[in-house]
């Protein structure tokens, strides 16, 4: 399918801004500047967040004695006597940009659609915090949900993990870790929206869509330089889940991939690896879409459809957990 016309118009605006100097690509900015730019642009793309009855900010303890912030969203106030299932959500941003605020509309939308809770995690960012800090923060957040979630009304028997872009990478890595680490609760679903999964950019989709489709090869390389300590980190499955030698026994997966994304081929490859390992996979390719489309509710209706798809998958997964 051809590029969605509304997406094409957005890309034209981005290109015009770059050519005029009004917009600077991330590799030409400092991480601090890139974060400010990302935060400023996010509200322009996403639909207004729906109202919810419950929102709470939490401080989650980490293994190094520090705390990170997390934000809990739900349609109703969670009750320890009647706990609700939860999606542990990791925001995108190449491990360098993104925040609870940039992804609040998306997390609110998901919580409003499936009627349970979303816990969004403010894992620490690079380059101040190099690999594997983001993964360790998210793993510690998952431990917290399993151990302390019931005290705030979360059902630790019904947990999903999810994220977009780098957040999808982290969710996929958590699903692998939870299979092997008894300290981690086992998620019943992993929701992976256009995740980065490969160590290298050597697929046809990287060649085809690596320039001019919002997420560019140069930007990906810049993210990697900020996050990784050295090239050896590239082969660690906590950064590149496709490097995991075995995917048997990980949680069922929903993969949401835009057609015009440099990462789409590695997403397809991961779906094939999961299926070959006997893991249930729901692979969805969104024609005419680009990276980040899930947070573009003000631009394309497909963003809202993908949010509905996530909500339906979560509902089904949690219902399966309820069955004897």
CA distances from 80 to 34, 57, 60, 144, 182 (A): 40, 17, 18, 15, 24
> Would you call 91 a catalytic residue per the annotation?
no
Residue 194's DSSP bridge partners are none
Residue 233 exposed, middle or buried by CB count within 10 Å (0-12, 13-18, 19+): middle
Residue 117 exposed, middle or buried by CB count within 10 Å (0-12, 13-18, 19+): buried
Identify the active-site residue in 165, 198, 199, 203: 165
Identify the active-site residue in 164, 261, 265, 309: 261
Structure tokens at 136: 């360790």
Q: How far apart are CA 134 and CA 6, in angstroms?
A: 34
Euclidean distance between the first and the last CA atom of the chain, given in angstroms as a whole number: 43
The answer to whether 155 and 145 are in contact (CB under 8 A) is: no
Q: How far apart are CA 240 and CA 244, in angstroms?
A: 8
Identify the active-site residue in 91, 103, 206, 291: 291
List all residues 6 or more positions away from 283 whose beta carbon is below 8 Å from its beta carbon. 255, 257, 267, 268, 271
**Residue from 98, 62, 88 nearest 223 by CA:** 98
Q: Cis omega before residue 7 (within 30°)?
A: no
Secondary structure (3-state) at 287: strand
> Would you call 165 a catalytic residue per the annotation?
yes
Catalytic residues: 165, 261, 291
């Amino acid at each position: 399918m051809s590029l969605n016309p509304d997406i094409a118009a957005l890309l034209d605006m981005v290109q015009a801004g770059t050519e005029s100097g009004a917009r600077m690509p991330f590799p030409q900015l400092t991480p601090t500047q890139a974060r400010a730019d990302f935060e400023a642009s996010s509200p322009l793309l996403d639909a207004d967040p729906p109202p919810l009855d419950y929102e709470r900010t939490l401080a989650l303890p980490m293994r190094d004695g520090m705390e990170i912030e997390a934000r809990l969203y739900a349609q109703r106030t969670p009750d320890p006597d009647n706990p609700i299932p939860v999606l542990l959500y990791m925001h995108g941003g190449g491990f360098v940009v993104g925040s609870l605020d940039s992804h609040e509309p998306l997390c609110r939308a998901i919580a409003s659609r499936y009627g349970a809770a979303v816990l969004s995690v403010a894992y620490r960012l690079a380059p101040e915090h190099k690999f594997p800090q983001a993964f360790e923060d998210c793993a510690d957040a998952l431990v917290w949900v399993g151990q302390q979630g019931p005290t705030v009304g979360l059902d630790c028997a019904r947990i999903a993990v999810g994220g977009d872009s780098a957040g999808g990478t982290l969710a996929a890595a958590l699903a692998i870790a939870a299979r092997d680490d008894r300290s981690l609760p086992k998620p019943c679903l992993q929701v992976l929206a256009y995740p980065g999964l490969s160590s290298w950019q050597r697929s046809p989709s990287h060649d085809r869509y690596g320039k001019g489709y919002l997420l560019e090869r140069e930007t990906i390389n810049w993210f990697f330089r900020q996050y990784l300590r050295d090239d050896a980190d590239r082969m660690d499955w906590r950064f590149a889940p496709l490097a995991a030698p075995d995917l048997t026994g990980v949680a069922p997966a929903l993969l949401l991939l835009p057609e015009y994304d440099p990462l789409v081929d590695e997403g397809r490859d991961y779906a094939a690896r999961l299926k070959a390992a006997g893991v249930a996979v729901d692979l969805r390719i969104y024609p005419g879409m680009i990276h980040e489309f899930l947070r573009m509710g003000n631009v394309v209706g497909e963003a809202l459809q993908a949010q509905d798809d996530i909500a339906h998958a979560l509902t089904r997964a949690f219902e399966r957990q309820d069955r004897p």
